[in-house]
Amino acid sequence: MSASKTSEKLSWRHPLQRLDSPSKGFSGVVHVVGLLSFYTSFKYLVDHPNIMNDSYGWHLQYLTIIGLSISTVCFLFGLFADITSSHTLFTLKNYLALIAAPIEILISILYWGLRAIDPALVLPPGLPLLPPFTDLTFHLSPSLLLTLDTLLLSPPWPSSPVNPNASLLTFLTSTLFAFAYWFWIELCYSKNGFYPYPIFGLLGTWQRVGLFVLSGVTMWVVGSVLRGIYACVNGVEGFGEEKGRGAKVKQG
């Protein structure tokens, strides 16, 4: 590799970025594994049709499937960036991850929490429980894969230098997403006459509003915790050792 190419690669990788990404190594493997996992989930929906397949909104009535769709697009950008070494695609992947990672973690928290209380809260009547492996590909592996990508394969998250309004922006994004999903669910209910998650039907209007508010706040907290974990794993830009480490990389 020529000196110019080496310098260009170093300029793309921020000193706080834990591993090389985009790259055809570990980064590429993570994105391939993630896309295969997401593919098996979507394939299951096609191979095992139910009432949701023919209803208004399809399976996109489920927060799980919305999150899975965003995660798929996110990892597609990541894989294409790994293959082409495109910094533009890498940047797009990172911005999508700002939405996908908190959503997937929120889905895991809500699903497994409600299922532990009563599976009937998250599973429509007449539909069997998902096979264990399939259940994990829908409700656990996406959150693990997005968290791994965020902590090890992303530049300083959510921005460099860290935006002082990052917490407020995350809160506004989380709140907007929660209420957009609520309006979408109510639209689907007006067409179908049923909710995708039985718990929505057990709650009154204001109780549902409270549930969506709680979900938005939880998503905001998850985003804040991810930023905190990132700082613990990778350091904080501009302070102490990390600042010196950045200077060494730039000199390299």
Over residues 72-91, the mean pLDDT reads: 93
Q: What's the pLDDT score for residue 64?
A: 95
Over residues 231-245, the mean pLDDT reads: 58
Question: What percent of the chain is modeled with pLDDT above 70?
Answer: 82
Lowest mean pLDDT among 23-37, 46-60, 94-108, 216-230: 216-230
Q: What's the pLDDT score for residue 99?
A: 87
Say whether pLDDT at 121 is over 70.
Answer: yes
* Predicted confidence band of residue 157 (pLDDT cuts 50, 70, 90): low
* Predicted confidence band of residue 43 (pLDDT cuts 50, 70, 90): very high
Q: What's the pLDDT score for residue 98?
A: 84
* Predicted confidence band of residue 6 (pLDDT cuts 50, 70, 90): very low
Question: What percent of the chain is modeled with pLDDT above 90?
Answer: 47
On the CB side of 113, how many CA atoms lie within 13 Å of its CA?
8
Say whether pLDDT at 133 is over 50.
Answer: yes
Q: Are 185 and 246 in contact (CB under 8 A)?
A: no
Q: Are 248 and 14 in contact (CB under 8 A)?
A: no
Question: pTM to 2 decimals?
Answer: 0.85
Over residues 27-50, the mean pLDDT reads: 95
* Predicted confidence band of residue 242 (pLDDT cuts 50, 70, 90): very low
Say whether pLDDT at 162 is over 80.
Answer: no
More confident residue, 36 or 162: 36
More confident residue, 42 or 4: 42
Terminal CA-CA length for the chain: 14
Over residues 186-200, the mean pLDDT reads: 93
Mean pLDDT (the chain) is 83
Q: What's the pLDDT score for residue 244?
A: 37
Q: What's the pLDDT score for residue 22?
A: 85
